[in-house]
Amino acid sequence: MLKIENLHAEVDGKPILRGINLTVPAGEVHAIMGPNGSGKSTLAYLIAGRPGYTVTQGSITYNDKDLLALSPEDRAGEGVFLAFQYPVEIPGVNNVYMLKAAMNGLRKYRGLGEMSAVEFLNLVKTKTKEIGLKDGLLNRPVNQGFSGGEKKRNEVFQMSILEPSLGILDETDSGLDIDALKIVADGVTRLRGPARSFVVVTHYQRLLDYIVPDYVHVLAHGQIVKSGTRELALELEARGYDWLSADAA
Amino acid sequence: MGLLETFARHLETVSPVNGIHAARLAALAHAGVRGLPEISDEDWKYTDIGRLHRIEFNLGRSPDRAPVAVPLAGLEAHRVVFINGHFSAVHSTLDTLPKEVRLRLFHRASTEEPEWLATHLGKLGTGDASAFAALNAAGAQDGVAVELANAYRLVQPLLVIFMNTGELHPSVVSPHLHVSAGAGAEASIIELHVGDGEATSLTNAFTRIETSRGARISHYRAICEAVNATHIGQLQLDIGSDSEVENFSLALGGRLIRVDIDCRLAAAGGKVVLNGVFVAGLDQHIDHHTRVDHRASHTSSDETYRGIADGNGRGVFNGKIIVQPGVEKIVATQASHNLLLSNEGEIDTKPELEIYADDLRCAHGATVGQLDEDALFYLRARGVPEAEARALLVYGFVQASLATIPVRELQALVSSRFANDNEALARILSGNLI
């Protein structure tokens, strides 16, 4: 279970999050929606452990572990996976090598031995087909020369290989056409299960047609101003965000 | 005793054999006149070779134990192997060479063609030959000269390995490789300098490649010397009309490495590609000085160097491009990308352009940066531990260049050497994935 309590965070002295409270039990999908600049991505980054943010108050725990005290790789070891809004290009580092390093890093953290090359490659092959990642992209440097859609698909591909227990999707839908969106959403839906939860950060309701959330939270000015069920997302689509922001301000 | 005196003393102990000995003495005298470089020389201001004067070198040694394994054993190639300066017949495969490739070994030529060898060495004892080039001629225990017949295309690469096996006594070896490619000839040449052990030995290598009209040569030169070794490498490229030479200089192992690449484009249509990768780690100093001289119209040069400094390592790249007066239609590009991984490390990169003509396209750029923090976070967020993530990014930085080497075995050798100090990286790179 992910538990965020009274989380305050700032960047360069500028407050971004002002008291977030959020609980995501195992097996649930929670959507975080909100206008640009509301702090959605900051929240995603803070869960994953990106440097550059200062937490001034509050806590993030996952399965009773204090995530804020852990390095990004140890958080990944605890089961956290962030699908990036802007996946980073890494010249010269082959996609498969990166995944192998990640897989073995995670296994080591969990006290498991390394996966054999054969086992790993079989896994890669199966998932490549499932996600519809072009074969050629596997051995290319990470995200380099990938189209926007291919990058997002690669994020979901990595997630399906590494099988986290908590997936944070940061605007995974942005830049995707409807076909790519379906494939990405299928990939996520396939991963859904009683032991796995998701935090889906999105600006638009569209993604939630395919990844149906259990709860929807609206973030504005660094606070969750409204929570509800899926119907809230539809209402937001119809009415926009202004009515909520006005309430918060 | 200084280095020059050591050579003089050594030559005195060798009984004169026809003109060859005279050529060596003349070369030594030339080196004396030129004088060994000092840091007060502009071209050597970053690189102090003072240590060479403080080491008691032993020039008279003979080959001792054979190395346990010669690298690139799995590569299908014509092999010429020298161990501690001497030709090693058991490791070489000269009999596979076709008649279109004429190969002369110095130790054989000294009895079979003494005049040729005297003339050959004599060229390094006159004119503008550098002191180190002259010293190579004075000291070369053995060496190889290769002539490729006109229009002949050598299918397998020519692999020339200079191995120095571990010994306590500091030795001097003077590897010598000379390639002359006839019109339209094509070949790929791999020149490896490999060492092990702890000795403070000196490799003073000289390589010259000259091409005739339309010849195409790829030349991969890798330096993986022993930890305390000094490597001085002189490379001359003399490129004929419509001929193309690609050179790749990889500098990984050795305490002090200095490579001078001197390229002459003296005929129309000549083209040179210079690539380099150097990794200066703990206590290492690696200096590349390149000089491309556009002496003829319609010539082009394309140069990309990638350097890394880590620990207290220091890397130097100095790239000079000269465009002579009166020539036209020149294309010259140069890029120097560097990664500085520590506070104590140092990178000195300097483009030097001497342009005396107008009709040209010339671009150059130099960068010194650190690891991309976003990429580092991306890898760590995937579960890659920080140390491995850093190693992967560093590897990725050089891989952008290494990936262009068409010889997979050489790529793998360099990658594994590169990963030597990093167990985690070695593990990631091991196991042939896909």
Write down which residue in B215, B239, B267 finishes a domain: B267
Q: Are the C-beta atoms of B67 and B83 separated by less than 8 Å? A: yes
- Claim to verify: residue B59 and residue B183 sit in the same structural domain: yes
The reported pLDDT for the residue numbered B67 is 60
The dihedral built from the CA positions of residue B96, B99, B101 and B104, taken in this order, carries a sign that is: positive
The answer to whether position A102 is within a domain reads: no
- Claim to verify: residue B211 and residue B85 sit in the same structural domain: yes
Going by C-alpha positions, the residue among B155, B144, B124, B162 that lies closest to residue B26 is B124
Q: In this structure, what DSSP letter does residue A193 have?
A: B
State pLDDT tens for residues A11-44: 999 999 999 999 999 999 999 999 888 999 999 9
Q: In this structure, what DSSP letter does residue A38 have?
A: S
- Claim to verify: residue B62 and residue B200 sit in the same structural domain: yes
Report the amino acid identity of residue A62.
Y
The reported pLDDT for the residue numbered A20 is 96
The answer to whether position A149 is within a domain reads: no
| Mean pLDDT over each residue of chain B, to the nearest integer | 91
Taking residues B321-335, what's their average pLDDT? 96
C-alpha angle A98-A160-A53 in degrees, rounded to nearest 5: 65
For residue B105, is pLDDT > 50? yes
Taking residues B72-93, what's their average pLDDT? 92
CB-based contacts of B423, cutoff 8 Å, min separation 6: none
CATH number for A215: 3.40.50.300
- Of A49, A105, A120, nearest to B384 by CB-CB distance is A105
Higher pLDDT: A143 or B15? It is A143
The reported pLDDT for the residue numbered B168 is 66
The answer to whether position A191 is within a domain reads: yes
The answer to whether position B320 is within a domain reads: no
Put simply, whether A50 touches B (Cβ < 8 Å) is: yes
Q: Are the C-beta atoms of B200 and B172 separated by less than 8 Å? A: no
Rounded to a whole number, what is the distance in Å from the CA of B306 to chain A's nearest CA? 13
Domain count, chain A: 1
Burial of A244 (0-12, 13-18, 19+ CB in 10 A): buried
DSSP code string of B67-117: PS--S-TTS--EEEEEETTEE-GGG--GGGS-TTEEEEEHHHHHHH-HHHH
A178-to-A198, B182, B433 alpha-carbon distances in Å: 21, 60, 33
Distance CA B230, CA B235 (A): 16
The answer to whether position A170 is within a domain reads: yes
Write down which residue in B267, B286, B301 finishes a domain: B267
Q: Do A88 and B383 touch (CB under 8 A)?
A: no
Taking residues B416-424, what's their average pLDDT? 64
Q: Do A117 and B393 touch (CB under 8 A)?
A: no
A207-to-A149, A188, A198, B395 alpha-carbon distances in Å: 14, 11, 13, 37
- Claim to verify: residue B258 and residue B393 sit in the same structural domain: no
- Which residues in chain A are contacts of B396 at CB distance < 8 A? 90-93, 141
Put simply, whether A102 touches B (Cβ < 8 Å) is: yes
- Of B373, B384, B431, nearest to A102 by CB-CB distance is B384
The answer to whether position A100 is within a domain reads: no
Domain count, chain B: 2
Q: How many helices (H) and strands (E) does chain A have?
A: 9, 12
The reported pLDDT for the residue numbered B283 is 92
| Residue B183 structural domain | 3-267
- Claim to verify: residue B27 and residue B163 sit in the same structural domain: yes
Write down which residue in B207, B235, B267 finishes a domain: B267
Report ipTM for this prediction. 0.96
State pLDDT tens for residues B383-394: 999 988 988 898
Burial of B431 (0-12, 13-18, 19+ CB in 10 A): middle
Q: Are the C-beta atoms of A244 and A220 separated by less than 8 Å? A: yes
Report the amino acid identity of residue B130.
S
- Of B377, B396, B434, nearest to A51 by CB-CB distance is B377
Residue B347: strand pairing partners:
B315
Going by C-alpha positions, the residue among A83, A80, A50 that lies closest to residue A173 is A83
| Residue A223 structural domain | 2-93+165-248
The answer to whether position B178 is within a domain reads: yes
Q: Are the C-beta atoms of A103 and A41 separated by less than 8 Å? A: no
The answer to whether position A50 is within a domain reads: yes
Distance CA A198, CA A118 (A): 30
Rounded to a whole number, what is the distance in Å from the CA of B262 to chain A's nearest CA? 29
State pLDDT tens for residues B22-52: 999 999 999 999 999 999 999 999 999 998 9
B:395-414 residues touching chain A, CB 8 A cutoff:
395-400, 403
B:361-390 residues touching chain A, CB 8 A cutoff:
372-375, 377-386, 388-389
Going by C-alpha positions, the residue among B248, B252, B240 that lies closest to residue B302 is B248
Q: Do B384 and A101 touch (CB under 8 A)?
A: yes
State pLDDT tens for residues A164-217: 999 999 998 887 888 888 888 888 899 999 999 999 999 888 889 999 999 999
Q: Count of CB atoms within 10 A of residue B312's CB? A: 16
Closest residue in A to B372 (Cα) is A90
Closest residue in B to A74 (Cα) is B383
The answer to whether position B361 is within a domain reads: no
Q: Kindly report the backbone phi and psi dihedral angles of residue A183, in degrees, each rounded to the nearest multiple of 5, phi listed first.
A: -65, -45
Q: Do B434 and A106 touch (CB under 8 A)?
A: no
